[in-house]
Structure 1
Amino acid sequence: MTTTRLTRYDGSMLRIMNDRRAQALYATAARRRLTVAVHITLTVAIGGLNAHMFLAKGEPLWAVAAMAVLLLPWMVATGAINGATRGLLELREHVLDERQSAERNRVLARSHRMTTLLLAAAATALLITGGVNGDAPKAYAAPLLIAVLVVNWIMPLWVAGLTAKDEPAEEEEPTA
Structure 2
Amino acid sequence: MTTTRLTRYDRSMLRLMNDRRGQAWYATAARRRLAVAAHVTLTVAIGALMTHFFLAKGELLWPVAVMAVLLLPWMVATGVINGATRGLLELREHVLDERQSAERSRVLARAHRMTTLLLAAAAIALLITGGVEGDAPKAYAAPLLIAVLVVHWVMPLWVAGLLAQDEPADDEAMEAGQHN
The interval holding the TM-score normalised by the smaller chain is over 0.9
Per the alignment, residue 20 of structure 2 pairs with: 20
Deviations, residues 17-55 of structure 1 (Å, cap 9, x unaligned): 001111111000000000000000000000000000000
Per the alignment, residue 36 of structure 2 pairs with: 36
| Equivalent residue pairs, number | 176
- 1:84 maps to 2:84: yes
Per the alignment, residue 8 of structure 2 pairs with: 8
Per the alignment, residue 74 of structure 2 pairs with: 74
Task: For 1:69-148, list aligned pairs within 5 A.
Answer: 69-148=69-148
CA distance in 2, matches of 1:137, 1:59: 21
For 1:139, give the aligned amino acid: A
Shift of 1:129: 0.2
Shift of 1:142: 0.2
- Gaps of at least 5 residues in structure 2 are none
CA distance in 1, matches of 2:40, 2:66: 16
Quote the sequence identity (%).
84
CA distance in 2, matches of 1:60, 1:52: 11
Which contiguous aligned blocks of 4+ residues in structure 1 show a shift greater than 2 angstroms? 173-176
CA distance in 2, matches of 1:108, 1:139: 31
What SS does structure 2 have at the residue aligned with 1:58? coil
What SS does structure 2 have at the residue aligned with 1:165? coil
Per the alignment, residue 149 of structure 1 pairs with: 149
Per the alignment, residue 56 of structure 2 pairs with: 56
Pairwise CA RMSD = 1.2
CA distance in 2, matches of 1:39, 1:19: 21
Q: TM-score, normalised by structure 1?
A: 0.98
What SS does structure 1 have at the residue aligned with 2:171? coil
CA distance in 1, matches of 2:43, 2:109: 22
